[in-house]
Structure 1
């Protein structure tokens, strides 16, 4: 069974993948200081709850945008699962896709993995929107080449900045407003409108501009935990793939088995 690890800036997601199917997934807050031993204690308990043992994990692949977290995840794989992990974008886990940007080495693993998986799942030109610490908009052309994109502050990051910089503004939950009115009557309503509808307007505006620049029919694929929240009030998404990055890791591992 494959253990796919997606280490992002906010959370590390661990997923068990068997025959291309995700059997279980868990997440923990990203902390580069967390040791391989600490990960092992935590994961061992979760595996037990699923009726599994560490020996059931026969391969590990890691994708990370947090370089300082990589070493401890590699220790986890080698010390506690007895396998040499593959690292997305390195060696036998080279992405195998064209990164058609000015500096390919700077493309985050999550964005490359999303591009790989989205192209495998959908035809034609694509825009992949990933709701994470940052919200990213990535263009994948009909051949599967990554063409670049946009990095915008994530909605939680935007809210944190607003609340920390304005002493009298309260902490609010990220949720859709109760109505479609964009004129708030209370401070909380005004904040909900600004954060939620402001974000919807930003997404719709950027996608419209990107489609115009691409100049061909484009499908928009959304991933990340907040995709379903926005799907209630916008028509820009053609599909939602909540596990796109994990799917990319599983595809990359399968490709590594077949060789170059």
Structure 2
């Protein structure tokens, strides 16, 4: 079994693969103050709940956009699993060619998503990841990572309204039936959700035009992340939602580097 961890700003997503099949997926909160032992206790409880033993794990791979938790996470893996993890970063084989001005500045999550999408779909791609930040990435058919755009995430936008506007409440992120809403909560939901759908479709349409102008076929658009389904319902540009894209990418990168 392969243990994969994707550490984001809000959550750490954990996955277990057995023979390339995802058999466990769960989340724990990202906390820079948490020790290796505290992370270890959490992870072992989740393993026990899913009838998995630490000794069942034969390899571990980590991607992270939160540098200050990496010592605790890596130490937890070495202490509780007796393994040295593969950490996505410079020197790790990915199978894609990063065309960023400085490849070191590309987030590990964006690289992992690009690897997974390139391996799975084998066509020009726009990849959208709805996380704490929303990222848009462009990948050519032959596997060149071209770059993309980064925007505040949907939850950040909602939280900002609550925190900065005295009379506006904290809201649940759901899609109201209409944009012309008759309550403050529904008005906020309409502005955030429908506004984000518009943002997605505009950015993706511009990225498609740029890629086609470079000689690529029209890109396939795949979305992942916690709120991908909410936005994809009304988006006219998202072709597919793949909720486990990042975990699949970690598995693929591990396979490329396991020797």
Deviations along 1:105-164, whole A, 9 cap, x unmatched? Answer: 000000000000000011221000000000011000111111000000000000111111
Moved more, 80-89 or 181-190: 181-190
Question: Is contact 1:136–1:152 with CA below 8 Å preserved after alignment?
Answer: yes
Match of 2:162 in 1: 163
Residue pairs, 1:77-156, within 5 angstroms: 77-91=77-91, 93-156=92-155
Deviation at 1:4, TM superposition (A): 0.3
1:220 & 1:40 partners in 2: Cα distance? Answer: 37
1:46 & 1:102 partners in 2: Cα distance? Answer: 40
Match of 1:73 in 2: 73
2:158 & 2:57 partners in 1: Cα distance? Answer: 39
Deviations along 1:78-98, whole A, 9 cap, x unmatched? Answer: 11100111101244x332321
1:126 & 1:52 partners in 2: Cα distance? Answer: 36
**RMSD of aligned alpha carbons:** 1.2
1:157 & 1:239 partners in 2: Cα distance? Answer: 24
- TM-score (normalizing by structure 1): 0.95
Deviation at 1:188, TM superposition (A): 1.5
- The secondary structure found in structure 2 opposite 1:75 is helix
1:57 & 1:90 partners in 2: Cα distance? Answer: 25
Question: Is contact 1:117–1:245 with CA below 8 Å preserved after alignment?
Answer: yes
Match of 2:224 in 1: 223
Aligned residue pairs, count: 255
Instruction: Say whether 1:56 aligns with 2:51.
Output: no
Counterparts in 2 of 1:132 and 1:172: CA distance versus 1, 3 Å: same
- TM-score (normalizing by structure 2): 0.95
Instruction: Say whether 1:214 aligns with 2:217.
Output: no
Gaps of 5+ in 2: none
Gaps of 5+ in 1: none
Question: Is contact 1:89–1:95 with CA below 8 Å preserved after alignment?
Answer: no
- The secondary structure found in structure 2 opposite 1:61 is strand
| Dislocated runs of 4+, deviation >3 Å | none
- The secondary structure found in structure 1 opposite 2:97 is coil
Match of 1:25 in 2: 25
* 1:192 counterpart (189, 194, 204): 189
1:90 & 1:83 partners in 2: Cα distance? Answer: 20
